[in-house]
Amino acid sequence: MNVRNTRREFLGFAAAAAASAGLFTRTAFGRSLADKPALLGGSPVHLGGWPQWPEWRQAWEPSILEVLRSGKWYRGSGDKVQQFEAAYAKLLGAKRCLATASGTTALLVGMHVLDVDAGDEVIVSPFTFIASYNAVLMLKALPVLADTDPATLTLDPASIESRITERTRAIMPVHIYGMPCDLDPVLAIAKRHRIAVIEDACQAWLAEYKGRMCGTIGDLGCFSFQNSKHLPSGEGGAITGNSDSLVDRAASFHDCGRSYGTFTGARPNFTRGGNFRMQHVQAAMLLQQFDKLVQETARRRENADRLTAALRDIPGIQTVRLPGDSRAVWHLYPFRYDAERFQGLSREKFLRAMRAEGIPCSTGYQEQYFDGLLDEAIGSRGFKRLFTAQRLKQYRDSFRDLPGNRVVCATTVAIPQNLLLAEPRHVDHIADAIRKVQAHAAELAKA
Ligand SMILES: Cc1ncc(COP(=O)(O)O)c(C=O)c1O
């Protein structure tokens, strides 16, 4: 792990703490809340950076070179992708896995084989990376937004049923930031209405819900292995599932419509399809990172628990509630920020002050349904042909009926996952920095 910490960090804090001895509460490491905020010229709480991401290990190189030297680079020759599929299915306890070019294409292929077609509707979690919306739009279906539960930051099951219409084909819960969505009520609704559940687990490798891995519980699950992810290969994705016929259909559709397993017809190409294949080099990268993923997931969890315990005592910081008997993997670590408890310090100024203290952080996703993407889609020729003007107007109006998501978008602060790979004493700097910013909130608000 590549951590750059220096003795300056300790000496800086020790000196500042001595100068203000007795005036303010001391943090666990001798720093004082009286220290000037870094944004106003004081020393940062954290110096020396954080573990870098992604990480390359020289020991992985022979396996990559073996693929490159073999000349067997694509799925149709060589076997690394197939090895990866078997190993990933085993790691997750899924019956099957199909590797894809990306998480977006995994969602696209998955929804296609779940019979999402032009003119259909898919209920989607609004608090997600835009790819979840886009995959639905690419199938010329309408991503209907259900609400977000401000306590969990995931899909509020109570908001789903009122949004189901005769065109609804699937529900897409998103395990955002690696936090499991409460799936049982979602599955019950889907069963009652005979619609499919496709889990967007693109940020949730090894997240668990009631003893099962996220991505293996709905009809299909989709993963991303893009560069920033906990299991990265630059680009890449996977579909997991327990139905041979669905995964065989997916394998066919992702490979130009070729016959595959139980899904056979006129050969070689008997159905529609595209090229959504993973390459062997990507699979070779992924295969070597399984142990690392397992170890780092445990470390992130320990550090996240430690951070949650520290944040609970800070007024104005609300940590996330995970659904019962679930375990997150923290692709980002989010909490909700109440500016009123910080002397009216806006979230944007809070973020700036935290970054100056050496703590990278950002807002979560914004109300992206107002950004124009969905307007562009529903204003297009295709969507106007597929949906009535009345339905499209009603759809557009429904964006204003997402009160939970509005609150979440306005108040969430998210800490990137690599901070949770640091030594616990450095993770403590996150809560220390928040306390320091809070102690100086009035000055910072004026700055
Ligand atoms: C929640 C979510 N869904 C879908 C995707 C799409 O994955 P990819 O970037 O691999 O296409 C991502 C990727 O960031 C994601 O975070």
CATH number of the domain within which 14 lies: 3.90.1150.10
DSSP string for 97-140: EEEES-HHHHHHHHHHHTT--TT-EEEE-SSS-THHHHHHHHTT
- Does the Cβ of 99 fall within 6 Å of ligand 1? no
Query: Do 221 and 333 lie in a common domain?
Result: no
- Give me the half-sphere count of Cα atoms (radius 13 Å) on the Cβ side of residue 96: 17
Picking from 247, 263, 289, the residue at the C-terminal end of a domain is 289
Ligand 1 centroid to residue 394 C-alpha, Å: 28
Backbone angles phi, psi at 13, to 5 degrees: -70, -40
Going by CA atoms, what residue is nearest to atom 14 of ligand 1? 129
Long-range contact pairs involving 11-14 (C-beta distance under 8 Å, separation at least 24): 12/43, 12/47, 13/43, 13/45
Predicted confidence at residue 270, as pLDDT, reads: 79
- Does the Cβ of 439 fall within 6 Å of ligand 1? no
Query: Do 145 and 284 lie in a common domain?
Result: yes
Predicted confidence at residue 269, as pLDDT, reads: 77
**Would you write out the chain's pLDDT as a tens digit for each of its 447 residues?**
344 333 333 333 333 333 333 334 445 445 667 789 999 999 999 999 999 999 999 999 999 999 999 999 999 999 999 999 999 999 999 999 999 999 999 999 999 999 999 999 999 999 999 999 999 999 999 999 999 999 999 999 999 999 999 999 999 999 999 999 999 999 999 999 999 999 999 999 999 999 999 999 999 999 999 999 999 999 999 999 999 999 999 999 999 999 999 998 877 777 899 999 999 999 999 999 999 999 999 999 999 999 999 999 999 999 999 999 999 999 999 999 999 999 999 999 999 999 999 999 999 999 999 999 999 999 999 999 999 999 999 999 999 999 999 999 999 999 999 999 999 999 999 999 999 999 999 999 998
- Two tokens, residue 367: 């109300």
DSSP string for 20-71: TTTTSPBPTTS-BTTSPPGGGT---S--S----SS---GGGHHHHHHHHHH-
Ligand 1 centroid to residue 224 C-alpha, Å: 6
d(CA 251, CA 114): 13
The pTM for the full model equals 0.93
Ligand 1 centroid to residue 121 C-alpha, Å: 20
- Two tokens, residue 163: 């949004």
Residues 30, 14: contact at Cβ < 8 Å?
yes
Count up the domains in the chain and report the number.
2
- Give me the half-sphere count of Cα atoms (radius 13 Å) on the Cβ side of residue 12: 16
Query: Do 80 and 207 lie in a common domain?
Result: yes
- Does the Cβ of 259 fall within 6 Å of ligand 1? no
Query: Do 218 and 358 lie in a common domain?
Result: no
Query: Do 260 and 115 lie in a common domain?
Result: yes
Instruction: Indicate the pairing of strand 412-416 with strand 362-363.
Output: antiparallel
Residues 96, 219: contact at Cβ < 8 Å?
no
d(CA 303, CA 315): 21
CA distances from 185 to 159, 160, 307 (A): 11, 10, 29
- Two tokens, residue 11: 């000496």
In this structure, the dihedral spanned by the alpha carbons of residues 415, 107, 226 and 160, taken in order and rounded to 10 degrees, is 0
- Does the Cβ of 364 fall within 6 Å of ligand 1? no
Ligand 1 centroid to residue 131 C-alpha, Å: 6
- Using most ligand atoms within 8 A of CB, pick from 129, 368, 417 the residue to mutate for ligand 1: 129
What is the position in ligand 1's atom list of the atom closest to the CA of 203?
Answer: 16
Whether residue 389 lies inside any domain: the answer is no
Whether residue 176 lies inside any domain: the answer is yes
Query: Do 442 and 306 lie in a common domain?
Result: yes
Among 321, 328, 325, smallest CA distance to 302 is for: 328
Predicted confidence at residue 32, as pLDDT, reads: 66
- Does the Cβ of 224 fall within 6 Å of ligand 1? yes
Query: Do 43 and 121 lie in a common domain?
Result: no
The CA-CA-CA angle for residues 110, 114, 118, to 5°, reads 95
Beta-carbon contacts of residue 171 (< 8 Å; ≥ 6 apart) = 122, 123, 146, 160, 186, 189, 190, 195, 196, 197, 198
- Does the Cβ of 103 fall within 6 Å of ligand 1? yes
Picking from 257, 289, 321, the residue at the C-terminal end of a domain is 289
Going by CA atoms, what residue is nearest to atom 8 of ligand 1? 103
Amino acid, res. 256: C
- Does the Cβ of 110 fall within 6 Å of ligand 1? no
Whether residue 431 lies inside any domain: the answer is yes
- Does the Cβ of 128 fall within 6 Å of ligand 1? yes
- Does the Cβ of 199 fall within 6 Å of ligand 1? no
- Does the Cβ of 100 fall within 6 Å of ligand 1? no
Ligand 1 centroid to residue 267 C-alpha, Å: 33
Ligand 1 centroid to residue 124 C-alpha, Å: 14
Ligand 1 centroid to residue 404 C-alpha, Å: 23
- Using most ligand atoms within 8 A of CB, pick from 104, 130, 148, 181 the residue to mutate for ligand 1: 104
**Which strand (E) or helix (H) includes residue 333?**
strand 332-337
Backbone angles phi, psi at 123, to 5 degrees: -85, 125
Long-range contact pairs involving 370-373 (C-beta distance under 8 Å, separation at least 24): 370/399, 373/130, 373/133, 373/134
DSSP string for 361-383: -EE----GGGSSHHHHHHTSHHH
Query: Do 312 and 189 lie in a common domain?
Result: no
Whether residue 28 lies inside any domain: the answer is yes
d(CA 124, CA 155): 8
Which DSSP symbol is given to 357? T
d(CA 203, CA 330): 8
Whether residue 404 lies inside any domain: the answer is no
Query: Do 29 and 90 lie in a common domain?
Result: no
Picking from 245, 262, 289, the residue at the C-terminal end of a domain is 289
- Using most ligand atoms within 8 A of CB, pick from 179, 226, 230 the residue to mutate for ligand 1: 226
- Does the Cβ of 174 fall within 6 Å of ligand 1? yes
Host domain of residue 77: 58-289
Query: Do 210 and 135 lie in a common domain?
Result: yes
- Give me the half-sphere count of Cα atoms (radius 13 Å) on the Cβ side of residue 133: 21
- Two tokens, residue 334: 């989010």
Predicted confidence at residue 31, as pLDDT, reads: 60
Whether residue 118 lies inside any domain: the answer is yes
Ligand 1 centroid to residue 106 C-alpha, Å: 9
d(CA 411, CA 407): 6
Query: Do 185 and 206 lie in a common domain?
Result: yes
Supply the CATH number for residue 240's domain.
Answer: 3.40.640.10
